[in-house]
Structure 1
Amino acid sequence: MTLQGTLRRTGIVGLCAAALLVGGGLPVAAADSGPQGRLNGLDWELKDTGSTARLRGLSAVSRHVAWASGSAGTVLRTTDGGRTWASVGPPGTEALQFRDIEAFDADSAVILSIGEGEDSRVYRTDDAGQTWTETFRNDHPAAFYDCMTFFDARNGLALSDPVDGKFRVLSTADGGRHWEILPNDGMPAALPGEFAFAASGQCITSAGRSDAWIATGGGATARVLHSADRGRTWTAAESRIPSGPAAGVFALAFRDRAHGIAVGGDFQPGAPSPDAASRSTDGGADWTSAAQPPPAYRSGATWLPYSTSVAIAVGPTGTDVTLDAGRTWRPFDTGSYDTVDCAFDLGCWASGEQGRVARLQ
């Protein structure tokens, strides 16, 4: 869900903070776990949103500005670091689930609702949620849109589960104001039972000007699909994360066009999730299982800005951090979160069930 490019510019203060925290490796790399099991130097600070919605959509603009979206047509926005939140969802959408949100700044954002047929929609606001414009409504009964990503302030993609045997991709070139369905002749055939998980808004991600990746599960193999031309053509690779009816890759995060992490597992409560993380160093062509994966299913992941080695993964049973680019993961919090996102000024946020939102300390 992280917006790439120059959308989240930071000033001197942000750059200095980044240099101190992650410039050459996070100082907590040598720290021991704290008394509550969290890693010293990393901690979630819960924010009171006043909402009980499940917030699976999240977009971090800065340490002060963040947007979250979720069930019952909920869209929340803060501009003061989470001290106060405004409920700004489109009126009349209480039956929709906004599983993904991409914010460009404090005023402009695009939201995606999931579901079969016309439940899959896209809306955009440019006045901080005071008004919304519906910019896409699905009219294909077999399409089910799960997630979206933006390369920059204008160009983005939205992903649907397979239609006629192939994943369907929408494209926009004007910031989500208009969308077109891309031709599927460059998309590999979907495996039997294969689909994407609308769990965190991170089943599709992007890096740079033209590279995008899709996370899959549900079939015999959980795959990662890669496009180097903004969704026109795709190649597929095995993710090394086990797949099944409720299992596979739930989230992808790439810090550049070569280095990526994948997290997932089986989302059924209590189900084992071995090998719930993997990593790639060649743009997703090959994946290696984490030597020490998270202990359970994880649905969201993000890299810490300015670091080549530090990333965070979240799920209903806790948060984990890697200090070695996904080779090993260590838990530091047991709170329930569905998704996570970082802005370029090191404003990292997480959100989940019962209106839970937190900012990384």
Structure 2
Amino acid sequence: MKTLLSLSLTTVLFAGALVVPATGQWSPDPSIEHESILDITTAGSNVFYSATNDLGPDVLRHSPDNGQTWQTHAASSRGAAVRLAFVNALVGYAISSDANAIERTTDGGQTWTKIFEVATEPSTIVDLGAWDASTAWISVVHVGDTPQEIRSTVHVTRNAGVDWRDAQFPVSAGYTVLSMNFLTKDNGVGVGYHVETSGLLTSMSYSTTDGGLSWDTTAISGGRYTPYVHAVDAHTVVVPDYDYVHRSTDGGHTWSMASYGIDSLVRMHTFKPLRGQYLAAWGLIGGARPYVVTSDDGGVTWTRHTTDIFLAQRSMSSFAASSTGKIFISTTDGHLYVRQATTSTDDVDDTAPTRSNTRLHLRGEADFRVTSSTDRTTPLVVDVFDLHGKHYAAYRITSEQHLSTLSWPAVAIVVTRESRP
């Protein structure tokens, strides 16, 4: 559990600097300039990304050939999507730029139709997934006046958004679902937090066997920082934490822990460019040299690597891997990097869609001030996000006082940006 130091908690959405495998060569795509990429996703050999543009309108780009050539479409009328989920070259879903609507395309992103919109504010759609052209699910966080009034709702469609069914949760107020991943069309696992009356946060997992219509709730013992869940196979999921991983082999009902062998792992991505290969990445925004740890046994044991591919200290904004082994990452300063993971496609596993788990767009750490904290703190921003026009940030606290009194060197506090004339 971890202590919440602010009564103005919204959604606990964290982002770390993403890194990629140390082996192989990375090269920037020279055709991508002046763009801030919000999300990248893949479907077979198709790569899609949404971006804002400093010199022009927001765009959606589509490559049908693993990044060799790109087609450009104008973003929908709601702006560049903050999250994409494509199931093939034509059909995809997107979270709108204001994070309160879902849109669907059937022509590869040339046109979009709104199929869902949150009915109340302040609320925000925090996660989106799609299994096929007809089946999609979303998680919505609804913010109350106090942290304990935060709640999540999950909505599922089986007919391409014509109808949505609300999930039934055994719990309501104080529980959030920040990330979901389905192992089959019916079996899924979500993770989030329970905000207790005292302000403490408990890591929670949620499991469903009916396509997301009903969920069971389980506390993740020892969980401290668990906003992302990743599917390994039809039964196994892993959840990254600061210096270890939580692993479940029964669809999220029971959990075990394994160590990475490194400290402060703040973001992990799992993908399958090769069978059985999983990736975990660690880094600080604008900070220290990143590490990569890989596992070839589904997250039981991990091997540590180092990488110096990003000497310019850039911050990553999104990550995706295609079924042919090509890996794409984007940076917040408008660069797209590409690497071929393997020269052979014999071992490629394209049975599971990749998930980038990108949250709301990172906007930088300038002009922020702490509004609720304690003395002798040195905050380091780890994520910045918008919620209906208000700006929030999550800070890691590195003070000597906190390090000596807590078993883990981080506390989340929410801050608001100073108004500027």
Distance 1:241 1:98 in 2: 34
Where does residue 132 of structure 2 map in the other structure? 152
Q: 2:32 aligns with which of 50, 53, 63?
A: 50
The Cα of 1:106 is off from its aligned counterpart by 2.2
1:228 aligns with 2:209: yes
Distance 2:162 2:261 in 1: 40
1:285 aligns with 2:253: yes
Distance 1:41 1:256, change over 3 A: same
Q: Report 1:311-326 matches (<5 A).
A: 311-314=278-281, 317=284, 318=290, 319-326=292-299
- Whether the 8 Å contact between 1:43 and 1:333 is mirrored in structure 2 is no
Where does residue 63 of structure 2 map in the other structure? 78
Question: 1:357 corresponds to which letter in structure 2?
Answer: L
Deviation digits for residues 228-258 of structure 1 (CA, Å, limit 9, x no counterpart): 1111111223345643xxxx22321112231
1:333 aligns with 2:318: no
Give 1 or 2 for the bigger CA radius of gyration: 2
1:204 aligns with 2:180: yes
Q: Report 1:159-308 matches (<5 A).
A: 159-162=139-142, 166-175=151-160, 177-184=161-168, 186-191=169-174, 194-197=175-178, 203-217=179-193, 219=195, 220-240=201-221, 242-243=223-224, 248-264=225-241, 274-275=242-243, 277-292=245-260, 295-304=263-272, 307-308=275-276
Distance 1:225 1:65 in 2: 31
- Whether the 8 Å contact between 1:263 and 1:298 is mirrored in structure 2 is yes
Distance 1:330 1:79 in 2: 34
The Cα of 1:105 is off from its aligned counterpart by 2.0
The Cα of 1:214 is off from its aligned counterpart by 1.5
The Cα of 1:100 is off from its aligned counterpart by 1.6
Distance 1:49 1:168, change over 3 A: farther
The Cα of 1:159 is off from its aligned counterpart by 0.6
The Cα of 1:113 is off from its aligned counterpart by 2.6
Distance 2:120 2:229 in 1: 27
Q: Report 1:29-48 matches (<5 A).
A: 41-42=23-24, 44-48=26-30
Distance 2:166 2:97 in 1: 19
- Whether the 8 Å contact between 2:260 and 2:293 is mirrored in structure 1 is no
- Whether the 8 Å contact between 2:66 and 2:322 is mirrored in structure 1 is no
- Whether the 8 Å contact between 1:238 and 1:287 is mirrored in structure 2 is no
Query: What secondary structure does 2:132 align onto?
Result: coil
Where does residue 268 of structure 1 map in the other structure? none
Question: 2:47 corresponds to which letter in structure 1?
Answer: A
* Structure 1, unpaired ranges of 5+: 1-36, 198-202, 265-273
- Whether the 8 Å contact between 2:189 and 2:208 is mirrored in structure 1 is yes
Distance 2:261 2:96 in 1: 31
- Whether the 8 Å contact between 1:250 and 1:300 is mirrored in structure 2 is no
The Cα of 1:68 is off from its aligned counterpart by 1.8
Distance 1:206 1:183, change over 3 A: closer
- Whether the 8 Å contact between 2:321 and 2:327 is mirrored in structure 1 is yes
Distance 2:274 2:29 in 1: 25
Distance 2:153 2:189 in 1: 13
Distance 1:211 1:167 in 2: 19
Where does residue 396 of structure 2 map in the other structure? none
* Structure 2, unpaired ranges of 5+: 1-18, 144-148, 196-200, 285-289, 341-421
Distance 1:280 1:125, change over 3 A: same
Distance 1:351 1:169 in 2: 29
- Whether the 8 Å contact between 2:59 and 2:72 is mirrored in structure 1 is yes
1:125 aligns with 2:109: no
With normalisation by structure 2, the TM-score equals: 0.61
Q: Tell me how many residue pairs correspond in the alignment.
A: 296
The Cα of 1:148 is off from its aligned counterpart by 1.1
Distance 1:98 1:333, change over 3 A: farther
Aligned-residue RMSD, C-alpha: 3.2
Question: 2:164 corresponds to which letter in structure 1?
Answer: E
1:99 aligns with 2:76: no
Identity %: 16
The Cα of 1:54 is off from its aligned counterpart by 4.3
Deviation digits for residues 266-303 of structure 1 (CA, Å, limit 9, x no counterpart): xxxxxxxx335322222112222331255434334123
Question: 1:82 corresponds to which letter in structure 2?
Answer: G
Distance 1:173 1:69 in 2: 25
With normalisation by structure 1, the TM-score equals: 0.69
